[in-house]
Amino acid sequence: MDRRQALRNIGLGAGAVVATPTVISLLQSCKNEPGFVPVFVSVPEGYALEQLVDLIIPADETVPGAVAIGAHKFIDAYWKNVTPNVQGQIWEERFEPLQDHMKMFFQAFGEEFTATFDKELQKGKPEEFDQMLSKYLTLGKEEQRNHYMAMNEFYQSYETDKTATPPKESAVFTLLSGIRSMTIWAWKSSEQVGENVLWYDPVPGQQKGCIPLDQAGNGNAMAL
């Protein structure tokens, strides 16, 4: 199960910690595209994705938010263009169809959103999407563990029964956790944030001890 879990994390974004040239190129192209026309999720789901990303890392007067650097476009394009390659290239064994699962999880999210607010995703307000994030991303460790166990059971069942479906709340938890991870990853990997917000040193590697904080990025994480 370890390798299956690792692949699953990469597909959902939680394990996407290495910004390869291909991924960086995808991120930069998403930033430069005008508007947002989803290529993987539906239009209502794309609207929801943009709202969620904006809530996870909002902009302020000095720091660009996740929407400004195109994180929502990147996540949608990543699910469309990168996930199939990850699935087919990392190991020769056959793993779960990650794209099918993402669609399944987003469907569960849409159904819960409609049941909670009596409206479709495309009519949702920021405070309603924030309520969904708060419900699932502030869970205690035991509740998170229960969702992880439920999803592992689903993945195992799906290997032999393609009609298997995950518990709805566990699917929504998995989706929102993945979106949060990918939003943070995309934001930190963007050129704009890397050079202007984080500590950017184009020639890193020097060891200097006992120097003032203002000479060491003022406590900011290093971009490279």
Tens digits of residue pLDDT in 168-188: 999 999 999 999 999 988 887
- Which of 129, 110, 116 shows the shortest CA–CA distance to 50? 129
20 domain-assigned = yes
AA identity, residue 51: Q
What pLDDT, on the 0 to 100 scale, is given for residue 8? Answer: 40
When mean pLDDT is compared across 11-25, 31-45, 151-165, the lowest value belongs to 11-25
pTM of the model: 0.74
Question: How many domains, in total, are found in the chain?
Answer: 1
When mean pLDDT is compared across 53-57, 70-74, 217-221, the lowest value belongs to 217-221
What pLDDT, on the 0 to 100 scale, is given for residue 191? Answer: 63
> Mean pLDDT throughout 147-170?
92
Share of residues in the chain with pLDDT > 90 (%): 43
2 has pLDDT over 50: no
Query: What's the domain range around 57?
Result: 2-201+209-219
- Which of 5, 45, 16, 4 shows the shortest CA–CA distance to 188? 16
The better pLDDT of the pair 171, 33 is held by 171
Residue 32, C-beta contacts closer than 8 angstroms, at least 6 positions apart: 70
What pLDDT, on the 0 to 100 scale, is given for residue 185? Answer: 84
What pLDDT, on the 0 to 100 scale, is given for residue 27? Answer: 57
What separation in angstroms does the CA of 59 have from each of 53, 67, 126, 192? 11, 8, 14, 13
31 domain-assigned = yes
Share of residues in the chain with pLDDT > 70 (%): 62
- Alpha-carbon span 71 to 65, nearest angstrom: 9
224 domain-assigned = no
Residue 211 DSSP code: -
* pLDDT band, very low/low/confident/very high, at 31 (cuts 50, 70, 90): low
What pLDDT, on the 0 to 100 scale, is given for residue 121? Answer: 97
- Which of 131, 123, 76, 120 shows the shortest CA–CA distance to 102? 76
| Torsion, CA 153, CA 157, CA 159, CA 160, rounded to 10 | 160
What pLDDT, on the 0 to 100 scale, is given for residue 180? Answer: 94
66 domain-assigned = yes
38 domain-assigned = yes
Tens digits of residue pLDDT in 133-155: 999 999 999 999 999 999 999 98
